[in-house]
Amino acid sequence: MITLRMEFQKIKRKKIGLTMCALICVQFAWLLWSGSHPDENERLQGWIETLYSLPLVSVIMMPTIMSVLASRLADIEHKGNTYKLLNTLHRPGALYHAKVLCGLCFILAISAVQFIFVIALGYARGYAGHPEWKYYVTAFMLNFACCLSLYLLQLLLSMLFFNQMIPLVAGLGGSMLGLILMYVKMYSFLPWGGFLSAAQVSMDWNPDTRVIHFYYREYSPIELCAVAMIFVWIAVFYAAGRILFARKDV
């Protein structure tokens, strides 16, 4: 707890929260623009359509947001070149755990604000009925897991490279890859495509009537494996980061 408290004190004047708010506001602006004037059919399917749209927005924006978060948390030790001195204050790996927990707090706050916003937006637009909470809670948990896997990957890259532009470019590349994966298939075993695998809603578009019908997905075995891969990536990136950080402490 002392190490975690010190981590928050180190970032006290870095305005990471303000940076995250600015990036999330871009995502909110996107969601506001995408359905600013819903018709009757869109209001009837509003809650399920939101569950369809949210992963598509996240797969494009979250890799970049997580890269910025990890970079801002990791650059202090690089600037001070203090990795080899940390063993005098902490046991090996303690600082890594503090950075993971610090990032986890930010991710939890981002995910909570994101879902509060989309639910409030749905009621403000007059969507019919109420959200199906079991799907929304599941979406919240899977969104959190996807963000955590990307954060651990970006934290690993931010520790490896002194120049923080390299992990930031990797995050931007992940966003571009997510955009490409959207047009390939609705699941992916890559860490940047986890949001697509976690999407609970699919859609059918009738070219004759030009009406979109949204429905809840029935996962195939390979799609379930893709969802499970999100948690595999979390374990892999966490273990790799812990080993790397322990070696840097020496």
Please check the confidence at residue 25 and state whether its pLDDT lies above 70. yes
Would you say residue 194 has pLDDT above 70? yes
Average pLDDT over residues 37-50: 80
Residue 234 has a CB neighbour count (10 Å cut-off) of: 20
215 three-class SS: strand
The set of long-range contacts for 73-80, using a CB threshold of 8 Å and a minimum separation of 24, is 73/7, 73/11, 73/16, 73/99, 73/102, 73/103, 73/155, 73/158, 74/99, 74/155, 74/158, 74/159, 74/164, 75/158, 75/164, 76/10, 76/11, 78/162, 78/164
Q: Which of 73-87, 89-103, 231-245 has the lowest mean pLDDT?
A: 73-87
Q: What's the pLDDT band for 129 if we cut at 50, 70, 90? A: confident
pLDDT above 90: percentage of residues in the chain: 16
Supply the pLDDT for residue 150. 94
pTM of model > 0.85:
yes
Number of residues that this document lists for the chain: 250
pLDDT reading at 37 higher than 80: no
Side-chain-side CA neighbours of residue 5 (13 Å)? 2
Q: pLDDT band at residue 177, thresholds of 50, 70 and 90?
A: confident
